[in-house]
Structure 1
C-alpha cells in the first residue's frame, strides 16, 4: 500500500515538475528576445532618459542600489552588474538619490533634454562603520544572485504601505507563508511554511537581527513573544537549502526580523496610529553617530481595550550601540526590554454560539491574563583579518517570563454543571455538549526561560580550483533552561494557590557548520554545506500529581541526547542578467521538545529528531522592466513528522502525535506587474502584484485512527491554496493608495479531516475566506510628514480564523485606523 501511494504521489507531482521545467526553458530563452545586454530591443530610445552604472570605489559593481528621482515616483534599481535604466522623464532638471546598504548615499543633479540619453557612471564609498549583525541574506545581494533557494525580502517601504496592526499582514506578502490569526494583532505569531502546521511557529526558525527569539530554541521553540512589526526595518524569509547554516529548525524556513541600525547622521521619527476599540500604537525613534559611536533607540507603546475579545498593553524598548573599535573591527551592542499584559485566553466560542451569532467576541473568561516579560542583550563583533578573511561573532542572552492565569471551564454531553460552577454558562444547555460551564478555579501556568548563545563565524574568500569561492565556517553553542510551575487557584482570577507541578528543564546544544559557494562559471554558482547538531537535554521533576497518589514532592530526573548530520546542496544559474534559475536539496531537522521526549513520570522516550528531505526548483526573472516573475516547485518528504499535542494546538497538553510519513508538495509564485510603466505614466506609479501558493500536505503511509485509514488525508491547518495580491498607486504629489486582497482555502483541523463541526467548535472544516484591506497615505515632504488611513476587512467578512486552542476564533471584523508620522 505504501509503495502504491508513493508512486501515485510521484505521478501527481510529475506533471507539475514538467510544467515548471518547461516554464524555465521558456523564460531562459527570453534573452534571445531581450538581447544579450538585457535591454529590450523594441524599446523606444526616446523613452529611455537615463542609463548608467553604480560601482564601489574599487570598481566592483553594486547590485540592487536604489536610484530615486527626487520629487517624482520614478526610480530604478541596479541589476547584478550594477547597471540601471530610467524611462519616461519629461525635460527638466532633476536630482537623483542613489543609496545602497553599506554605502554612503549620493545626490546627483542631472538635466534631461528631449531625445538625449544621459549616461552616468557613479562610484560609492562604503560607510566607515557598519553594524556587525547577522543576516540570512547578504545585505549587498538583495537581488538574490547567490541564494540557492526561494527567498523574500520585505523592506521598510512595503511595511509602511501596508500600515499593519499585525505582523501577520506583512508575512502574508511572501509566497509560501500561511499565517493563522489568534487574537488579531499578531502578539503570538503562528507561521506555517509550505503546508507545515502553523501552531506557535514550531517548525520555523524565527530570529531578530540573527538572534533566536523562541522561548527555548531547542527544547521549547514556541513563539509566545513575537517581535513587534511597528519597529522593523525589514523582514527576511529564507527557504530551501540556503538555510543550512541556521538552526536548530531547518524544516520550514527562517524568518529574520531586521531592526534599524544606527545612522551615520542624525535622524528620527515620531509615529502614532489609533483606531477602534481604544487601539493605539506609538513609536519614537532616534539615531545618530557621535565620533566613533553610533546609537539607535526606539520606544514603542501599543495598547487596546477591545480588539475582538482582546485587551492588551505593551511597552517595548530597544536600543543599539555601534562602536568603531579600530580600522579592523566594529562592536555592536543591542539591548531590549519588552513587557506585555493582555487578557489573552485559550477558550473560544463553541459551534452553537458561532451558528447563532452575536457572541463572536464575548469575553468568556474576563479574568484570564497573560504576562510576558522579556529582557535581551546581545553583542556582535566583526574583525577583518584581511580583505578576504573576516570573523563575525555574536553572543547573546535573554530571559522570558510567561505567566498565564486561565480560568477553568468544562463541558459534557449531559450538560451537567460542575460542583465548583460560578453560575456562568455559555452556549446552550438545549444541545448535548453545547454548554460551557465556567468553574470557580484557576490554573496558573507560570514559566520562566533563560537562553544564552555564542556563535563565531569565519568568512573566507578564496580561489580554490582557480575559481571564486566563498567559505563560511562556524560553530554555535547554546544553553537553555526552563522553570515551569502550575499553581491551582481556588477562585477565578487569583494568582496564588496550591503548587501542583514544579520542574526544571535544561539543554545544552552545540552546532558546527560549513558552507562553500563555488562560482563555477560567470553564470553558475554551486553551493554545498553540512551542519552537525548535538542536543543534550534533561527534565528534573520536583513536584507533580500522580494518579492514585495525589500531589507529592519527588525527584525524577531523566535525560537524553540527539545528534544529527544535516547536509544541503544548491545551485544558482543565471543564463543572462534577466533570469536566475535555482534549486537545491537539504535535510530538514527539528529536535524533539524536551517535554515530549521525557514523560511527566521521568521516562526518557527514544524519540528521534524530526526529519525530512526537502527539494525545490525554481526561477526568478525581471522579464521586462515592468514585469518580475518568480516560481518555485517544492517537495518536503517526512519519514516521521512529530506533532505535539500541546494545549495551544487543541490537544490535552502533553505527549505527541506520531504522524508517521507526510508529504508536502506544490508550488509558490510571485508576480509584480508595473502597469504605470506599460502605459507610460509620467507622474504616477500603478503596480499590481500577486503571490500564490498551492500545496498538497498529506499523510503518506497507512495509519489507522479507529477504523479509518488516514493515508492520503490532508494534514491539519494546511489549506491547498492561499493567495495574497495588491494594487498600489503612488503619485508625484505624495498621494498614494493600496488595496490588498487575501484568500485562504478551506482547512481541516484534525487527522480524519472532519467536515461537520464538533459541538465544542474545536474540530471540523474551516471554510475558505476572502478578505480585502485598503490603505490611503499622503506624504508631505515640506512638513516631513506622512498621513495614512487604513481599513482592514473592508466588507466586514465574518469568518473562522482558527479553531484553536480550545474553541472557535472569529476573524477581526472591519477595523479602521488613522496614523501620522513626523520625521526629523
Structure 2
C-alpha cells in the first residue's frame, strides 16, 4: 500500500534539499578555476608506500603531525598531500598490521617532496578474526559492500548510543528502543530489525547473541564507548561466517595492546543523571601485551530509562615465538535497568504530556554476562597460517515485568491495582495495571571452537588465497517463568520450566583467484548442520492447567550455502564489485518445536542475495560508492514474539519476500577542493532506497498482502554529516538523520490501533551537533554534544507493546585525558 506517493517523494526531495542547504556551503569560485600550474604548486608531498616484501599497501594513513592534513594511499600504494605552508613537518604513516613509520620532511618554495617508504611487519598483533581484512582493511580488494567506522568517527559523533555509529553505514536501519542502544535492533537492506535476528553480530570475531543458532536475540550489545571500530560486511564474503548470512555481519572491534605504554580516562555527563566513565590502559612488556578497560555507565532518567552498567574487559597478547601468537580476552558485563515492554497507547501519545512516564515502575531487567576467548595464530611457513579461536560465554537475562490488561470495553481485571493509563472514556483506550508479575528467568551457555587455515598458492600459475575452516558450537538455554501475585515481586508460582539445547557443525572453504592484476574472483561454500532439542519440564496447558511433564522433541537441519563474488580494478581510481550468495538462518528452537512438543515443518530462512556496485576516488576531494542489491526470499520468517510486537508465541513460514534497492555513500572534501591549509571541511552522506515487499499471494483475514511492504522497512533512510577540523584543535560536526515512514504490520495499517502497536509510523528528521577541542599540550580532549537539537517529537518504535517516543533534545559534555 502506498500513501500519496507523489506527496511523499516531494517531502523526501525537500529533506534532501534541506540537508544540502545546511551542509553544503558555497565553495569559493577560485577553488574550481585554478589553472594547471597552480594545481601543481598546491601539491607539496607525494610518495609510495610498500610492504617489506615490496607489495603496495593500499589505504595506509598518512598524517601530518600537529595539523589536520593527511591522505590515504590508493590501490597502488601512492599518496599526495596538498596545501602545506613552508616548514618542517613530521609524517606518521600507519596501517593495521605494520609498525608506524615517522619521517621528517621539509616544504620549501612549492617544491614537491618525494617520499618512498617500506613498512616493517609488526612485531605481533592480536590473532583475532576480522570480517574485512587481516591487515589494512583493504576495501579495494573486498568482493562486496563493506563499511568501517573507525575510532575517530566514533569520537566525533560523541554517541550516547551505538545506534548513532551504526547509522553511518549505508543500508543499515537501526530502531531505537530505550534511546541508549542497550538492546540494538539492526535491520540491513529492509530486513526486520527486531532484536537484530537477521544479522550476525560479533565482537572481535566472537558471536554475542544469547544463542547464535537457536535464539539469536541481542539482549546484550557491546558498548560503543570502548570500541576502536565497527566492521559491517553485506556482500558474498559473509558466507564464511554463521549461522546468519541473511542481512550481513556486524563486528565490533576493541583496542589491541599497544607497543608502548599508553592509557586514557574519559568522563561524560549529561541530562537525567547520565554519567559515563571509561578507563583504558595498555602496554607491551617483553613478549606480552596487555589492554585493560573498565567502563561505568549509569543514568537516573534518560527518557523513561534508569540503568546502571559495569563493563570490564582485558586483552592479553603473548608473542610465543616468531611463528606463534596467543591472544586471551576476558569480559564481565553487569546491567540493571528499568527496561519494560509496555509503551504508550495511541490515546496517550495523541494527548501528549506522558511521553516518558514510567507506566510500570517496578519492571526491572538484570543482564549479566561472562566471556572468555582464546585466539591463536601459527605461521606454518610464509604462505600458510593456521588461525584458531575458542570461546565460551554465559548470559543471564532475568526480566521482572508487571502484568497489565487492555480490552475493548475498558473493564478492569479482577486483580487491578487501581492504576489506569490512557482514557477510559474511549473504548479500548485504557491500560489497566494488574497486581501480578511475570518473572522471565533465562540463562544461556555458548561454547565454540573454530580452526581456520589460510594459504597462498599458485594454482594455474596464478596467485590464489585459500581459506578453509570448521566451526563447532554448543548452546543451551534454561528458561523459567515465575508468576508473582503482587507487582514487583520476584517470587511466586513456577509455571514454565524448560531446557533447549543445540549442537552446530559448520565447514567452509573459499578461494580467491587473482585471474589478472585487476580482476579477482572469490568463490566459496559453507555447510551448516544444526541439531536442536527442546525439553519441556513444566507448562500451563490449555484447559488442563499447570502440569509437570516430560516432553522432549528435536530436529536436525542441514544446508549448503554457496557464494561467489568479484572485484575489478578498472584503474587506481575506480573499483567495481559484485556477488551472489545464498542467505541462510535456522529457525529459532522455540518456534520450530511448539510448547506441547510438536515439531513444526518450519523451514530455514532462505534467500538468494545479489549485489553490484562500484567505489571510486573520482578526485582527490571526492569519494563515491554505490551498490544495487536484491534479496529474494523463498521463505522469510516474520517474528511474532512479544519483542516484535506479536502475541508472544510461535511463527509460521511467512512465504516469499523481495528486498531490492540502491545504497550509496559520498565523501566530499571541501577543504581539499578549496585549498584550505589550516583546516579540513568534509561533507559526507549515505542514502539508501529499498523496496521491501511480500512477493506472493498470502492472506491475512480477507486481505491479500502480496505487494505490501514488510514491517519496519522504510523506503528511505539517510545519514549525513558536515565535519570541521582546525590546526588549533578545535572542531565541530553536524549530523543529520532522516528515516522514511514505516508500516508496523503485514496488512500495512495506516490508522493507528488504540493500543499503539500497529499503524503508520511517520517519517522523521533529526539533527545532532558536537563541538570538540583537542589540547595536545595537556593531552586532553573536550566535547559538547547536543542530540536532537530541534527537539523533534517522533515515534521511534511501536514495539514491543506500545509506542516508544524518541529522546528529546539531550545535552552531554565530555573530557578525555591521555597518558
TM-score (norm: length of structure 1): 0.95
> Which residue of 2 is the match for residue 288 of structure 1?
283
Q: Distance in 2 between matches of 1:572 and 1:107?
A: 33
Deviant stretches of 4+, over 4 Å: 40-43
Indicate conservation of the 8 Å contact 2:71/2:80, yes or no.
yes
Q: Distance in 1 between matches of 2:515 and 2:672?
A: 36
- Superposition deviation, residue 44 in structure 1: 1.8
> Which residue of 2 is the match for residue 297 of structure 1?
292
Q: Distance in 2 between matches of 1:179 and 1:721?
A: 13
Task: List per-residue Cα deviations over 1:759-801 (Å, max 9, x = no partner).
Answer: 0000000000000000000000000000000000000000000
Does residue 417 (structure 1) correspond to residue 422 (structure 2)? The answer is no
Q: Distance in 2 between matches of 1:579 and 1:789?
A: 38
Structure 1, unaligned stretches of length 5 or more?
1-39
Indicate conservation of the 8 Å contact 2:602/2:652, yes or no.
no
- Superposition deviation, residue 140 in structure 1: 2.5
Task: List per-residue Cα deviations over 1:265-319 (Å, max 9, x = no partner).
Answer: 0010000100000000100000001111100000000000001110000000000
Q: Distance in 2 between matches of 1:547 and 1:673?
A: 62
Give the counterpart of 2:396 among 380, 392, 401. Answer: 401
Give the counterpart of 2:621 among 619, 626, 634. Answer: 626
- Superposition deviation, residue 143 in structure 1: 3.6
Q: Distance in 1 between matches of 2:754 and 2:227?
A: 41
Does residue 719 (structure 1) correspond to residue 719 (structure 2)? The answer is no
86-95 vs 611-620, greater mean Cα deviation: 86-95
- Superposition deviation, residue 145 in structure 1: 2.0
> Which residue of 2 is the match for residue 16 of structure 1?
none
Q: Distance in 1 between matches of 2:446 and 2:36?
A: 57
Q: Distance in 1 between matches of 2:122 and 2:635?
A: 48
Instruction: Give the paired residue count.
Output: 785
RMSD: 0.9
- Superposition deviation, residue 704 in structure 1: 1.0
Task: Output aligned runs, 1:35-46, within 5 Å.
Answer: 44-46=39-41
Indicate conservation of the 8 Å contact 1:644/1:654, yes or no.
no
Give the counterpart of 1:451 among 446, 451, 454. Answer: 446
Cα distance change, pair 104–253 in 1 and its aligned pair in 2 (3 A): same
- Superposition deviation, residue 474 in structure 1: 0.2
Does residue 530 (structure 1) correspond to residue 525 (structure 2)? The answer is yes
Indicate conservation of the 8 Å contact 1:63/1:140, yes or no.
no
Task: List per-residue Cα deviations over 1:670-712 (Å, max 9, x = no partner).
Answer: 0000001111111010000000000000000011111111110
> Which residue of 1 is the match for residue 814 of structure 2?
819
Indicate conservation of the 8 Å contact 2:602/2:653, yes or no.
no
SS at match of 1:782: helix
> Which residue of 1 is the match for residue 633 of structure 2?
638
Does residue 246 (structure 1) correspond to residue 245 (structure 2)? The answer is no
Give the counterpart of 2:741 among 738, 741, 746. Answer: 746
Task: Output aligned runs, 1:316-327, within 5 Å.
Answer: 316-327=311-322
Q: Distance in 2 between matches of 1:56 and 1:127?
A: 11
Task: List per-residue Cα deviations over 1:94-152 (Å, max 9, x = no partner).
Answer: 11111111111121111101131000111211111110000001143424122110000
Does residue 84 (structure 1) correspond to residue 79 (structure 2)? The answer is yes
Give the counterpart of 2:357 among 362, 366, 373. Answer: 362
Q: Distance in 2 between matches of 1:437 and 1:168?
A: 33
SS at match of 1:658: coil
> Which residue of 2 is the match for residue 679 of structure 1?
674
Task: List per-residue Cα deviations over 1:722-745 (Å, max 9, x = no partner).
Answer: 000000000000000000000000
SS at match of 2:40: coil
- Superposition deviation, residue 61 in structure 1: 1.8
Does residue 234 (structure 1) correspond to residue 229 (structure 2)? The answer is yes
Does residue 590 (structure 1) correspond to residue 585 (structure 2)? The answer is yes
Give the counterpart of 2:426 among 422, 431, 452. Answer: 431
Does residue 187 (structure 1) correspond to residue 182 (structure 2)? The answer is yes
- Superposition deviation, residue 41 in structure 1: 7.8
> Which residue of 1 is the match for residue 137 of structure 2?
142
- Superposition deviation, residue 42 in structure 1: 8.3
> Which residue of 1 is the match for residue 19 of structure 2?
none
Give the counterpart of 2:336 among 338, 341, 357. Answer: 341
Indicate conservation of the 8 Å contact 2:603/2:653, yes or no.
no
TM-score (norm: length of structure 2): 0.95
> Which residue of 1 is the match for residue 801 of structure 2?
806
Q: Distance in 1 between matches of 2:556 and 2:149?
A: 38
SS at match of 2:671: helix
Task: List per-residue Cα deviations over 1:539-581 (Å, max 9, x = no partner).
Answer: 0000000111110100000000100000001000001010110
517-526 vs 644-653, greater mean Cα deviation: 644-653
- Superposition deviation, residue 658 in structure 1: 2.8
